[in-house]
């Protein structure tokens, strides 16, 4: 299992929900902010295909492809996902036709969970287009979109006041422990 955190800061509201959902579960937690992920020039239709990009992405992508359950977590930035998260997805274009990764087959084996946090306007409605974007990404790639949490928070620790989001993260923890057959640690 892997958690991809797209937040621009550590220890924020988004990470708080991730930590509640994954408490006691062995999981590779990745802060995308810690990786150099460069944008690519779209070369899908050129004879030579994509050129290699000198950054940290391919190593991270290899690790991502080994996971069966992915938790995508991002604050709601300007009514969408963070730039770090968007770059992560944009780079998939570079690997979708790369035979080394068997992208289409392996994506169909993955389950996706999504955590989004934000404040204004009311995040429960403002984040729905982003939830839909994640659903479309999953549909397009064959990943199973399992569930999502939208948390209402902006200032540090404010998420702790959103009892619904925190409660749902705790419910996910119970469900994930069952799915992963985890021993409480």
DSSP character at residue 139: H
- Please say whether the beta carbons of 17 and 73 come within 8 A: yes
pLDDT digits (tens, 9 = 90+) for 94-112: 888 888 899 999 999 999 9
Average pLDDT over residues 72-86: 95
Residue 119 has pLDDT above 80, yes or no: yes
pTM of the entire structure?
Answer: 0.92
Q: Look at residue 37 in the predicted model and tell me its pLDDT.
A: 95
Span 123-175, pLDDT tens digits: 578 899 999 999 999 999 999 999 999 999 989 999 999 999 999 999 999 99
pLDDT > 70 in the chain, percent: 96
SS3 label, residue 80: strand
Identify which of 83, 79, 84, 166 has the alpha carbon closest to the alpha carbon of residue 123: 79
Assign domain 2-183 one CATH number from 3.20.20.100, 3.40.50.360, 3.30.1280.10, 3.90.226.10: 3.40.50.360
Which H, E and C letters describe 85-127, residue by residue? HHHHHHCHHHHCCCCCCCHHHHHCCCEEEEEEEECCCCHHHHC
């Amino acid at each position: 299992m892997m958690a991809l955190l797209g937040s621009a800061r550590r220890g924020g509201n988004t990470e708080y929900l991730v930590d509640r959902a994954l408490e006691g579960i062995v999981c590779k937690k990745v802060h995308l902010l810690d990786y150099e992920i460069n944008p690519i020039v779209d070369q899908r239709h050129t004879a030579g295909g994509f050129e290699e990009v000198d950054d940290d992405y391919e190593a991270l992508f290899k690790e991502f492809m080994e996971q069966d359950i992915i938790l995508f977590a991002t604050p709601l930035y300007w009514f969408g996902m963070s730039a770090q998260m968007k770059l992560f997805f944009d780079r998939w274009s570079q690997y979708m036709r790369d035979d080394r990764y068997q992208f289409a087959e392996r994506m169909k084996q993955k389950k996706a969970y999504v955590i989004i946090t934000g404040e204004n306007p009311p995040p429960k409605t403002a984040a729905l287009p982003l939830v839909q974007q994640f659903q479309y990404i999953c549909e397009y790639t064959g990943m199973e979109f399992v569930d999502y949490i939208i948390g209402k928070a902006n200032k540090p620790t404010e998420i702790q006041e959103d009892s619904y989001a925190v409660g749902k993260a705790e419910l996910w923890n119970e469900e994930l422990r069952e799915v992963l057959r985890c021993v409480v640690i």
